[in-house]
A = this chain, B = another copy of it.
Amino acid sequence: MIDKRVRSLAEAVDGIKDGSVVLAAGFGGAGSPEALYGALLEQGAKDLTIVNNNAGTGRIGLAGLMDAGRVRKIICSYPRSSGSVVFEELYRANKIELELVPQGILSERMRCAGAGLGGFWSPTGVGTRLADGKEEREIDGRHYVLEKPLKGDVALLKADRGDRWGNLTYNKSARNFNPTMAQAASLSIVQVRRFVELGEIDPEHIITPGIFIDRMVEVPV
């Protein structure tokens, strides 16, 4: 029997290794697996690379992991959200590495990894500083730069409903990076607002099919 549900947050994040690339979902608070971020702090893995649209706010969640010295590198599109105080402190002190990636390319690079492709030619950023060091090529009269797949060791996700096979739905714009990150990581862990019976989600409405999910924990927020 397929049953991807686990009983505790500790069990959900068990075994995440030092040095992991962690795909961290959410856009602002929407779709952000705060309970899993907290559990990862407890779990203790360090030397992490975090992939998120931003770089944490306040001193909890992703910022909490940074504040505790667990994060070696951030790959994000916009580390300047108001309240990204921990990141800014570490950045100024040269205690964290930053790889800045345009938001759509961040997402497309993860999809590329999930789809088993070796890279893609992107028009985004051509002629800008963010294309520095990237191979450039003209194809049919337009210029592109080569972008590489971005694969995660772990994805930390948040969904609305989930069944024991790992089929997921999301709520409104909380969908954001979650479905793509689920496809791009070796180990995909999701906090789900509500477990439902197998078959309760109409198959036409499933956004993330269970094949992309490894572990689920119920967190009713």
Contacts and interface: CB of A to CB of B under 8 A. Distances in A.
Interface of A: 108, 112, 115-123, 137, 139-140, 142, 144, 148, 169-170, 172, 203-205
Given A204-B169, A205-B204, A121 B123 contact: no
Given A169-B204, A204-B169, A205-B205, A121 B118 contact: yes
A112 B115 CA distance: 12
Copies in the complex: 2
26 contacts: A108-B115, A108-B117, A116-B123, A117-B120, A117-B121, A117-B122, A117-B123, A117-B144, A118-B120, A118-B121, A118-B122, A118-B123, A118-B137, A118-B139, A118-B140, A118-B142, A118-B144, A119-B121, A119-B139, A119-B144, A120-B120, A139-B148, A169-B204, A172-B203, A172-B204, A204-B205
A26 B137 CA distance: 35
A120 B121 contact: yes
Contacts of A148: 139
Nearest to A119: B121
Nearest to A138: B118
A12 to B, nearest CB: 25
A39 to B, nearest CB: 28
A108 B205 CA distance: 23
Chain A to chain B: the 3 pairs with minimum beta-carbon distance, closest first = A118-B121, A118-B144, A118-B139
Contacts of A117: 108, 120-123, 144
A203 B169 CA distance: 12
A117 to B, nearest CB: 5
A123 B149 CA distance: 13
A140 B119 CA distance: 11
